[in-house]
A and B are shown apart, each in its own frame.
Chain A
Amino acid sequence: DGGITQSPKYLFRKEGQNVTLSCEQNLNHDAMYWYRQDPGQGLRLIYYSQIVNDFQKGDIAEGYSVSREKKESFPLTVTSAQKNPTAFYLCASSIKGGSVNEQFFGPGTRLTVL
């Protein structure tokens, strides 16, 4: 079955630790995205990538880093510089970059920093 997987579903970390969230897709999509969702707020774009080895900052990139070494994979690292990292993180992909294409979402990772 084609789709997007994110792991783990729940993640707990101590303050000051870096943590990497996994996102893999087998849909052969070119574009991938990372969003953050906080209670009562819309999704906010952290980073996106339209092609392998290229990525761009979204609206709230500070304290985060990404890589896109393979088409299928777009891991997100939440660094200790992120002031308020506890949130629901969603990875998405679309056939191509650009606004007209539907984005498909993974099941998300809930990160709690203690």
Chain B
Amino acid sequence: RKEVEQDPGPFNVPEGATVAFNCTYSNSASQSFFWYRQDCRKEPKLLMSVYSSGNEDGRFTAQLNRASQYISLLIRDSKLSDSATYLCVVSTLTFKTIFGAGTRLFVKA
């Protein structure tokens, strides 16, 4: 079993749709959680950190469920520019950061 698992997609959605990604992790000692965005053939960039209480940044909402060991990312009112691969990232206190393989999103007009 992979330490961090994501549905690879692709998710094909129309503009304006709401789309949700889930990510599961296997190490219960994980402490820090992030979502990164990676455009085609580019470097990953931090989209948002994920806090225990959940957090929102504009159209993006991240949730953490420690009991079930998964995190989620919700994108509301999808834009064409949201088309990218979304990477789930999980870290432990002992300096071990694991990147998921990513979920591809295509937003179409």
Give the B-binding residues of A (Cβ under 8 A). 35, 40-45, 48, 88, 90, 97-100, 102-108, 110
Report A-chain residues with C-beta under 8 Å of the C-beta of B87: 42-43
The B contact surface, by secondary structure, is strand
Mark contacts of B72-101 with chain A using CB atoms, 8 A cut-off: 1 yes-contact digit, 0 otherwise: 000000000000000100011111111111
- Majority secondary structure of chain A interface residues (helix, strand, loop or mixed): loop
How far apart sit A35 and B94, CA to CA, in the bound complex (Å)? Answer: 18
Which B residue sits closest to A100, measured CB to CB?
A: B32
Judging by beta carbons under 8 Å apart, are B95 and A42 in contact? no
Bits for B22-37, please: 1 = Cβ < 8 Å to A, else 0: 0000000001101000
Contacting chain A: which of B13-21, B41-49, B52-60?
B41-49
Which one, A45, A48, A105, contacts B43 given CB within 8 A? A105
- The listed residue (B45, B96, B101) touching A40 by CB distance below 8 A is B101
A-B contact pairs, 15 of them (CB 8 A): A35-B99, A40-B8, A40-B101, A42-B101, A42-B102, A48-B95, A88-B41, A99-B31, A99-B92, A99-B96, A100-B91, A102-B34, A102-B46, A103-B97, A105-B44
When chains A and B are docked, how far (Å) is the Cα of A81 from the Cα of B25?
Answer: 32
B99 partner residues in chain A, CB cutoff 8 A: 35, 42-44
Instruction: Output the residue of B41, B43, B96, B101 with the most chain A CB within 10 A.
Output: B43
Indicate if the CB atoms of A107 and B43 lie closer than 8 Å.
yes
Which of A43, A99, A108: most chain B CB closer than 10 A? Answer: A99
Q: Which residues of A contact B45 (CB under 8 A)?
A: 105
Partner of A43, one of B34, B44, B91, B95: B44
